[in-house]
Amino acid sequence: MRRFKEFIIEKLILVCGVASIFFVVLIFLFLAKEGLAVIKTVSPFKFLFGKSWYPISEPAQLGILPLILGSLLVTLGAAIISVPIGVGCAIYIAEIAPVKLKEILKAGIEMLAAIPSVVLGFIGMITLAPLVKNIFHLPTGLTALSGSIMLAFMAMPTIVSIAEDALYSVPKNYKEGAFALGATHWQTIWRVMLPAASSGIVAAVMLGIGRVIGETMAVMMITGNAAVIPKSIFVPVRTLTATIAAEMGEAVVGSEHYFALFAIGIVLFVISFAINVTADLFLHKRQ
Amino acid sequence: MFKKVLSGLVILTFATCAFAAKDKNSIQVKGSDTMVNLGQAWAEKYMQENPGDFVSVTGGGSGTGFSSLISATCDIAMASRNIKEKEITLAKQKGVIPFEIKVAMDGLAIVVSPKNPLSKLTIDQLANIFTGKIKNWKEIGGKDEVIVVLSREVNSGTHVYFKEHVLRKNDPNSKAEFSSGALMLSSSQAIADEVAGNSAAIGYYGMGYISAKQKPIMVAKDEKSEYESPTIENVVNGKYPISRPLFLYANGQPQGLAKKFIDFCLSKEGQDIVLKTDFVPVK
Of the candidates B64, B71, B148, which has its C-beta nearest A139's C-beta?
B148
Residues B165 and A63: their CA atoms lie apart, in Å, by 25
State whether residue B189 sits within 8 Å of chain A by CB.
Answer: no
Instruction: Judge whether B2-105+245-281 and B107-236 match in fold.
Output: yes
Query: Hey, is the C-beta of A183 within 8 angstroms of any chain B C-beta?
Result: no
Nearest CA in chain B to A56: B154
**Residue B215 reports pLDDT greater than 90:** yes
- Classify strands B98-112 and B280-281 as parallel, antiparallel or unpaired: antiparallel
Closest CB to A249 among B60, B177, B194: B60
Other CB atoms closer than 10 Å to residue B218's CB: what's the count?
Answer: 17
Residue B3 has pLDDT above 60, yes or no: no
**Three-state DSSP class for A115?**
coil
Q: How confident is the model at residue B20 (pLDDT cuts 50, 70, 90)?
A: very low
A60: contact with B, CB 8 A cutoff: no
Give the up-direction half-sphere exposure of residue B95: CA atoms within 13 A in the CB hemisphere: 1
Per-residue pLDDT for A55 more than 70?
A: yes
CATH code: domain A44-283 is 1.10.3720.10
Around Cβ A39, how many Cβ atoms within 10 Å?
12
pLDDT (tens digit, 9 = 90+) per residue, B34-86? 888 899 999 999 999 998 889 999 988 888 899 889 888 899 999 988 898 88
pLDDT bin (cut points 50, 70, 90) of residue A287 is low
3-state SS, residue A184: coil
Give the pLDDT confidence of B231-255 residue by residue, as tens digits. 888 888 888 989 888 999 999 888 8
Direct distance between the N- and C-terminal alpha carbons of chain A, in angstroms, rounded to an integer: 41
ipTM of the complex: 0.76
Closest CA to A268 of A223, A225, A216: A216
Q: Which residues contact B256 (CB under 8 A, 6 or more apart)?
A: none
Question: Is residue B71 within 8 Å of B28, Cβ to Cβ?
Answer: no
> Is B203:B111 a contact under the CB 8 Å cutoff?
yes
Q: Residue B221: pLDDT above 90?
A: no
Does the beta carbon of B64 lie under 8 angstroms from any beta carbon of chain A? yes
- Inspect the interface and report whether the beta carbons of A236 and B60 lie closer than 8 Å: no
Among B126, B195, B119, which residue's Cα sits nearest to residue B162? Answer: B126
* Torsion sign over Cα B136, B137, B140, B143: negative
Summarised one tens digit per residue, pLDDT across range B265-281 is 999 999 999 988 888 88
Interface size A-B, in CB pairs within 8 Å, comes to: 90
> CA-to-CA distance for A44 and A41, rounded, in angstroms?
10
Chain B residues with CB-CB distance to A130 below 8 A? 197
Angle at A226 between CA B59 and CA A145, to 5 degrees: 110
In chain B, the percentage of residues whose pLDDT exceeds 90 is 42
**Cβ pair A236:B183 closer than 8 A:** yes
DSSP letter string, B70-121: HTTS-SEEEESSPPPHHHHHHHHHTT--EEEEEEEEEEEEEEE-TT----EE
Interface check for B148 against chain A (CB to CB < 8 A): the answer is yes
- Using the predicted structure, report yes or no on whether residue A159 has a pLDDT greater than 60: yes
Q: For chain A, what is the mean pLDDT?
A: 90
- Which residue in the set B87, B184, B194 is minimally distant from A226, CB to CB? B184
pLDDT-derived band at A286 (thresholds 50, 70, 90) equals: low
Question: Residues with Cβ < 8 Å from B202, sequence gap 6 or more?
Answer: B110, B111, B112, B129, B147, B148, B149, B150, B195, B217
A68-86 mean pLDDT: 94
**B177: buried, middle or exposed (CB in 10 Å: 19+, 13-18, 0-12)?**
middle
pLDDT of res. A250:
66
The band of A58, judged by pLDDT with boundaries at 50, 70 and 90, is confident
The answer to whether B131 faces chain A, any CB pair under 8 Å, is no
B2-105+245-281: which CATH topology?
A: D-Maltodextrin-Binding Protein; domain 2 (3.40.190)
Distance from B194 to chain A by nearest Cα, in Å?
Answer: 9
Three-class SS state of A72: helix
| pLDDT value of position A113 | 87
Please give the model's pTM, rounded to 2 decimal places. 0.78
| Distance from C-alpha of B145 to C-alpha of A64, rounded to nearest angstrom | 30
Domain ranges of chain B: 2-105+245-281, 107-236
Domain B107-236 -> CATH class: alpha beta
Query: Quick one: closest CA in B to A230, which residue?
Result: B181
The residues spanned by each domain of chain A are 44-283
* Cβ within 8 Å of B, A 246-265: 246-247, 249-255
